[in-house]
């Protein structure tokens, strides 16, 4: 509020304005406390997630080491070996999707043919 507006207020109106500002300030402080509590909670979740990721990575590393120790003929799975597997897996997935699409089309045509036979339309 400007000084002119404050000067024009009666003592009762001024007390009301001050009370409204106090209530609003208390509400804002309460909101800030809740927000800070949520931020703390999110930071704890993030920290826990990082710990779990590290534990999972350590477990994966141990599994890779165990696989290498259990099968000395094959080399342990390295990042390079995994990256070489990705194109093969991707290729297999693409082939499977094409087969599925072809099978789906064939089944659709078969259903249409059977429906035509059922209604006596012929093929």
pLDDT tens-digit profile, the chain (123 residues): 677 788 888 889 999 999 999 999 999 999 999 999 999 999 999 999 999 999 999 888 888 888 877 665 555 555 545 566 777 778 888 888 888 888 888 888 888 888 888 777 654
Integer Cα distance of 89 and 100 in angstroms: 16
Q: Please enumerate in sequence order all residues whose Cβ is within 8 A of that of 117, keeping only pairs 6 or more positions apart, or say none.
A: 123
Cα separations in angstroms, 19 against 4, 25, 26: 19, 10, 11
Residues in Cβ contact with 27 at an 8 Å cutoff, skipping those fewer than 6 apart: none
Residue 48, CB half-sphere, CA atoms under 13 Å: how many?
6
Question: Which residue spans within 34-94 are E strands per DSSP?
Answer: none
**Degrees (nearest 5) of the Cα angle 37, 41, 46?**
145
């Amino acid at each position: 509020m400007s000084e002119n507006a404050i000067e024009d207020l009666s003592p009762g109106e001024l007390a009301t304005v001050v009370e409204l500002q106090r209530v609003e300030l208390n509400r804002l402080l309460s909101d800030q406390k809740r927000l800070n509590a949520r931020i703390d909670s999110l930071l704890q979740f993030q920290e826990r997630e990082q710990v779990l990721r590290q534990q999972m990575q350590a477990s994966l590393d141990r599994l890779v080491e165990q696989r290498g120790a259990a099968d000395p003929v094959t080399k342990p799975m390295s990042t390079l070996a995994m990256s070489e597997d990705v194109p093969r897996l991707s290729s297999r997935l693409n082939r499977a999707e094409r087969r599925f699409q072809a099978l789906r089309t064939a089944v659709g045509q078969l259903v249409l043919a059977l429906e035509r036979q059922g209604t006596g339309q012929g093929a």
